[in-house]
Structure 1
Amino acid sequence: MIERAMSDVDHSFTIGLSTPIPLADRFPLREPLGMLAGRVVSVPVATLRVVKPPSRWSQLLRDDVLRMKPPSGRSGGETAPELEIPALVNTIEALLGTIRIAAQVQTATDRKEPGCPNLWADYLLVSQSYAAHLSLAVDD
């Protein structure tokens, strides 16, 4: 639903959640967060910025989604993207459990040049039992 709400004629929005990886020793983590990110994120991780408090990840996700809205202000869905975000967060937490550690991920393949039309946002999400990679991308 959110992908439809965020897409426009020449504005393609995608969102993906990797297959959750079970935590061997559960929570609290016994391995460094960087090592866990290396196992969960499918491309090399350049940096991790831990979100504090962890519950703030949903607000950062909302900010990223709104930053990626179609420039025309129009969307392909029947509802505004910001109205879809709580359902997305609820779905993710229903799958993983309450997020206990969240980190914004910058991968080695991120392009941050000025004027680059493509945008990315990546998160490492860790619950008591699982870790997963949440990825947002826009291609114009």
Structure 2
Amino acid sequence: AFITQSIRDHNINRVSLQVAKLTISNPVAFLINLSNLVRSLHLFQHEIDNINNHIEYFFGVQNFDCAPTIIEMFSGKLDSLHIENHYYPFYLSRHSADELPLLGKKIWFSATCNQYAMELTNSKNEHFV
């Protein structure tokens, strides 16, 4: 609540968060709320002790596909998103990454995603993936 209230009070359009262990009750709702307040968001996921590097993990949530959340985030004010998640490379599946260019909104999206390690210059729907 403090972060989102500060964004509202100061009319902030860009936010950068470095995330380690989260203690908020609903991190997905927080991201969606944040995406309705800012135009640009940079998220950096730090490695967390006792969290296996081979699971889908991002922003405090384990074993979930974050692509639907990313799509929902872009339905708000957000039009620029950069995600760095080097420690948990399986957070975004290839199938889900394929769906992201179909948003129908001009966006800038950049993310670490080992699912496309050999195909970094693909284009789909006039968007590079």
Asked if these proteins are the same fold (TM beyond 0.5), I'd say no
* Greater relative contact order (Cα < 8 A, sep 6+): 1
Which protein has the bigger strand share?
A: 1
| TM-score normalised by L of structure 1 | 0.23
Larger Rg: 1
| TM-score normalised by L of structure 2 | 0.24
